[in-house]
Structure 1
Amino acid sequence: MISSVPSERSKHFLPSELPVIQAPMAGSQGSALVVAVSEAGGLGSLPCAMLSSEQLDLELSRITQATARAFNVNFFCHLQPEPDPTREQKWLERMSVFYREFDIDPASIKPAAGRLPFSAESAEILECYKPAVVSFHFGLPAKALLNRVKSWGSMVLSSATTVEEAVWLQEHGVDAIIAQGVEAGGHRGMFLTDDLNSQSGTETLLRNILQSTDLPVIAAGGIANENDVKQLIDAGASAVQAGTAYLLCPEAATSEIHRAALQSDAACNTELTNLFSGRPARGIRNHFMEQVGPLSADVPVFPRATSFVAPLRAAAEKQQSGDFSPLWAGQNALNCEALPAAELTRKLVSRVSF
């Protein structure tokens, strides 16, 4: 067991003034939120898994033209799955009742990846910018790619949802660990297990990782305000990562449907679901989750499941409905405030010394 105690760990390891990271939130933000957070002294993050090479280059260009401060780029590290025609046809048939509701022809649905893992092509673009921080979800990329990132001097972070994952990340060369508690919105970063019973709350996970590793640990999950931040810093976190708290900021690209859900009583009821992508992710319970059940063993593998719900989402959103939208949100969403990102960033750390 690691002998170091939380107080011995660096509280100033991030290349940002403040110990707060804005969590990357694909589909709900772009470069504008990154710039606003970084300019305020936090570490803004750009989600890259849904960006084409051209979009990635454009977003990085926008960020570096708007700020000289440090920022984070985030990538997924999943393996691209092989198509499973039998499983996908079965899911298509199960979804047919919803397609009929919106007069959608099932034959028009073409399953595709939707989200891409970090690759040599991504690294080629990234190398032109050499971001201060590169973070990963679902483990780490291949050793050669990881070494390439490290050769630029970039700090490497990755998410752990269990102690075993945290130890694995330390052994494989990360500079700090993001302890992603089960309260967190969006995709679970699980990569050594698919057992949801292994997932624990943020503070419990934080304490257990602190006892088992000697790297700085970033707490993530259920962080909505300055009180949450103080509690986790006091518990030994070197920094925090907040996502849902930023969804109501004017700089976020959160849809009006999503914003309305976050500000309604529905935000009290979040669940883990694999229906939208094929992997467990936390979002506000909606019609689709209620009708099918939030978790299904029949859903196509990540990320191919996205293609099956995408036309339903588009059709429902045209009617101003979020019945088939992934309304990603962490627990404690009702405590979020619609503040400018800079004001929110400074407020989050207003009760801690650093």
Structure 2
Amino acid sequence: MKVLVTGAAGFIGFFTSKVLLEKGHEVVGLDNINDYYDVNLKFSRLKELGIDRDDAEEFNNICKSSTNSNFTFVRMNLEDREALPNLFNNEKFDIVCNLAAQAGVRYSLENPETYIDSNLVGFLNILECCRHNDIKHLVYASSSSVYGLNKKIPFSTDDNVDHPISLYAATKKSNELMGHTYSHLFNIPTTGLRFFTVYGPWGRPDMAMFLFTDAIVNDRPIKVFNHGKMERDFTYIDDIVEGVVRIIEKPVTERVNNNELYKVYNIGNNNSVKLLDFIKEIEVNLDKTAEKNMLPIQPGDVERTWADVDQLIEDYDYRPNTSIKQGVKSFVDWYKGYYS
């Protein structure tokens, strides 16, 4: 298949592109390479896919991979209402996997406009391009943050998600509503994926795994919010991508026949880990004790997440299962190598 992967220089988009290429698919990667975090990390990911930084610097320039003839990259803004439709018209995609978004809960308190531009205007542009280009299936990233103030554990896709507590979460909930609307009106199969606290090698510098490791290595205190009384369903990157690729590859013919064009799944480890236990595992792998600065819970944060993945198991025979012990070791090994 020919697959458009947006956010291809990002954490999940990079690995998704890599696995799809390994499985023989043709991939066009799209990313605007914004400066929300270190762009050098984004260009390094692209280098792993055979894309030269000088070529990728220019907007709307189609770059061919030097290592895989099935991969091309284009630097583009999702909200560009001329360039994106032209890309769809020229490339004739079978599947679209939209992983591009302005990420981060806390950043949405400081720069709300960027979330509207990328996550709402950009997603609408994706939907319109799918509508007018006979796209067989749109797979897109949602987030566990949509569960907001929900108290029932574990979080199920059958739960009501009308109480988000950050603008980021509200935009992801909006994406699901927009996907439902386009599925209903224009018969486009759409699948939303609620990711739960993704971590692993090549991970984002604004995420806990990276922040804690970087601080401990460099003898800085780590910020432990809610005085450590937090639990997360930490999900290893390989487990996330395995779920994404299974959903991309499985034909949606049966869903279309059953008029189930719209679907949402949780992808999580189906396990809630205490934040202090997570930190302890990092300390073990670094052979170093963290200096902990205990702080109140931050606006937009939730105390606990835990994914119910029964629907994923039922429809795709898949359950993420990488342990924290395995996952943390892999990240720390990568961090030491990359920043050596």
User: TM-score with structure 1 length normalisation?
Assistant: 0.34
More helix by share: 2
Higher RCO (CA 8 Å, separation ≥ 6 residues): 1
